[in-house]
Amino acid sequence: MLRTKWGLQLKNMWKFPGGLSEPGEDIGDTAVREVFEETGVKSEFRSLLSIRQQHGSPGAFGKSDMYLICRLQPCSFTINFCQQECLKCEWMDLEKLARIENTTPITRRVARLLLYGHREGFDKIDLSMEEFPAVYTGLFYKLYHRELPESYRDTARTD
């Protein structure tokens, strides 16, 4: 088993489902599609949780790599995983995922982030999405940010 200089195994590690976006595909749509393709679980996008940026990764086709982790709401719970992409797939307790050794640092950290959100409220960790009209007629963009308090949503003054 090959290990990195940090002692990480490069195979047979627990991780969240993921993959590349299709051209023109939104973040949430990519996450929902990838989870379904890898696990057979249907889900709905809830929020963006974290962004990892990395440069010089051998698997990034010579580009800088951004890995976005989303919080999804399952609509089904039966797992029918893709055996070409996964050796094993199962629902796992977040506390266990936050502690186990055979996972990546990002998976452990996001499990801890989700535990915090579950206990203290997802409003403390979520980057929600709002859609706005772009400066170009007929186009829109999606802005991901922490939720604004009601008193700040529709006002120009904050004093």
Give the pLDDT of residue 2: 42
Compute the half-sphere exposure of residue 116: CA atoms within 13 Å on the CB side of its CA. 11
Residue 1 is predicted with a pLDDT of 42
The pLDDT assigned to 10 comes to 55
Cβ–Cβ under 8 Å, residues 129 and 36: no
- Is 150 catalytic? The answer is no
Instruction: Write the CB contacts of 37 (distance below 8 Å, at least 6 apart in sequence).
Output: 17, 19, 82, 85
- Of 22, 25, 37, 44, which one is the catalytic site residue? 37
pTM of the model: 0.84
| Backbone phi and psi for residue 92, each to the nearest 5 degrees, phi listed first | -130, 140
Distances from the Cα of 31 to the Cα of 38, 76, 100, 148, angstroms: 11, 15, 24, 24
Return the closest-CA partner of residue 92 out of 9, 13, 4, 1: 13
Q: Which of 43-47, 60-64, 67-71, 77-81 has the lowest mean pLDDT?
A: 60-64
68: part of which helix (H) or strand (E)?
A: strand 65-74
